[in-house]
Amino acid sequence: MSTFPRISLKPEVADHLRSVFLNKEVLAAVGHQVAESRFQKLLTCLSHPPSHTCIRASTHLAPLEEIRHKLAEELEKQMCSSSAGEVAVQIVPHPRIPDVLLLPVDGPRPVKQLSSEVVVGAQCGSAVLRGAHVFAPGIVASPKYMKAGDAVSVLSDSEGRCTRGATSFQGNRVFVGNGVAQMDRSAIFCTEEPVKGVGVRMVEPLYQSPSFDGVLPDMAFLQNLPSVVVGHVLGPRPGERILDMCAAPGGKTCHIAVLMRDQGEVVALDKIRNKIGRIRQNAQMLRLRSIKVYCFDSTRAVSSDPTAGAEGPPFPPESFDRVLLDAPCSGLGQRPNMSCTWSLKEICSYQPLQRKLFQAAVRLLKKGGVLVYSTCTVTLSENEEQIAWALETFPCLMLQPQEPHIGAEGMLGAGLSPERLRLLQRFSPELTWDQTAAPLPCRADGDTIGFFIAKFLKN
């Protein structure tokens, strides 16, 4: 159901994306009307949250059913404390992915907007739609005399135009639910120290989904479904040496280590120093010892010195059995996202970096090894066009079938054959946007973030 306006994009970006989704190959296959309808559905579903919350269960620490039972107990306690009666939490195992639990999201709900309004940044508003409370740093405007305990409506500044500290804002904003202020206005804005903690506790969110803050942190890991699929597609095995090239915040890194039973070595690289600690923190929390983390630019991860040791980066060529390149991208598949303020130049800037990383990945991969390339965006230039380029540039690479394959096939427009498109996995939420009556596991496979996966074997 459409509750919010379509994602707000700069006109040049909207025109570019429209030309991508209505390219000549697509128009020849499905016609203008179907292609245009799909594109408009994409813009709509990007501004809405998925219909489920996906949990990756730490099945190396406990059986799935035990984690499911513990999670239900914790969430029922949480929800009972904020409502009058007992609440039953529905948690469904995914039928094809053995470490995934799904929770339905209830929404949109009939919530009446209040006169007292708190305005939050777009990123904070998106987090609220996925079940979070409002943390104080995300608040940009509040009533002049707001006190802790006041009932307030929370609205998202979808275009980022509200001045921090304002007492009201009449620009484009989107209602995301009602809550109770946990701080006075003065504690949020009139302080020299950085503000911390929950600023508004949500009691009537427009989309109801449990808050996982502090809930079984070592057993239940919040992760989008396609991101879990990536780890299974990579297919790690015990004893292997595996490289995660752009690893922060470490969710996929930890999943790889779990899938190889923490036997072998997972090397995690990321060039942003303040993100490295998060990877180590996640590995420690999940009790994983096979992960080695380095702050390093993966485009330079191949050593030119044949006598160099292989312990830390840069590495000699053909050092790894499997490589995951979850590439930096434009992120246009993320949901919910009510506004993207990037220019067309920024949107199109990732392809050269992705190719540099890809070149390093191929050199670092052993013969007979597996390379998985993934993004969380919907463009052709960062997805299918990169695959066409890779197959032409590296004759040693062959596309491989993916397991599980629960997304759609690749999109037309990059000149790839039907056989090759079927080997790709593109999560396209616009294709199932109208199918609201399907059972949760079936609905969850289609109603995801926009995502792309390709799997190669190096001959």
Say if CB 4 and CB 333 are below 8 A apart.
Answer: no
Structure token pair of residue 57: 């269960």
Say if CB 430 and CB 408 are below 8 A apart.
Answer: no
The annotation status of 297 as a binding-site residue, yes or no, is yes
The annotation status of 162 as a binding-site residue, yes or no, is no
The annotation status of 254 as a binding-site residue, yes or no, is no
Q: How far is CA 67 from its chain centroid?
A: 23
164-169: long-range pairs with CB below 8 Å, 24+? 164/140, 164/189, 165/140, 165/141, 165/189, 166/119, 166/140, 166/141, 167/141, 167/142, 167/143, 168/117, 168/141, 168/143, 169/119, 169/140, 169/141
3-class SS of residue 429: helix
According to DSSP, residue 349 is labeled T
Which residue, among 310, 317, 442, 425, has the nearest Cα to 375 in the 3D structure? 425
329 is catalytic: no
Structure token pair of residue 110: 């009939």
The annotation status of 247 as a binding-site residue, yes or no, is yes
Which residue, among 194, 148, 140, has the nearest Cα to 167 in the 3D structure? 140
C-alpha distances (whole Å) from 449 to each of 53, 154, 427 are: 11, 24, 7
Which residue, among 407, 440, 439, 436, has the nearest Cα to 423 in the 3D structure? 407
Structure token pair of residue 150: 């006041």
**What sign has the CA pseudo-torsion 210, 213, 217, 221?**
positive
Q: How far apart are CA 314 and CA 29, in angstroms?
A: 46
The annotation status of 326 as a binding-site residue, yes or no, is yes
The annotation status of 252 as a binding-site residue, yes or no, is yes
Say if CB 385 and CB 454 are below 8 A apart.
Answer: no
The annotation status of 246 as a binding-site residue, yes or no, is yes
User: Rounded to 5 degrees, what are φ and ψ at 379?
Assistant: -75, 155
Give me the count of residues in the chain. Answer: 459
Q: Which residue among 348, 376, 396, 442 is the active-site one?
A: 376
Task: Specify the amino acid at residue 165.
Answer: G
The annotation status of 251 as a binding-site residue, yes or no, is yes
Q: How far apart are CA 249 and CA 245, in angstroms?
A: 12
Helix 251-259 to helix 225-234 angle (10° resolution) is 40
3-class SS of residue 337: coil
- Side-chain-side CA neighbours of 252 within 13 Å: the count stands at 32
Give the residue numbers of the binding site for S-adenosyl-L-methionine: 246-252, 270, 297, 326
User: Where in the sequence numbering do the catalytic residues fall?
Assistant: 376
Give the residue numbers of the binding site: 246-252, 270, 297, 326
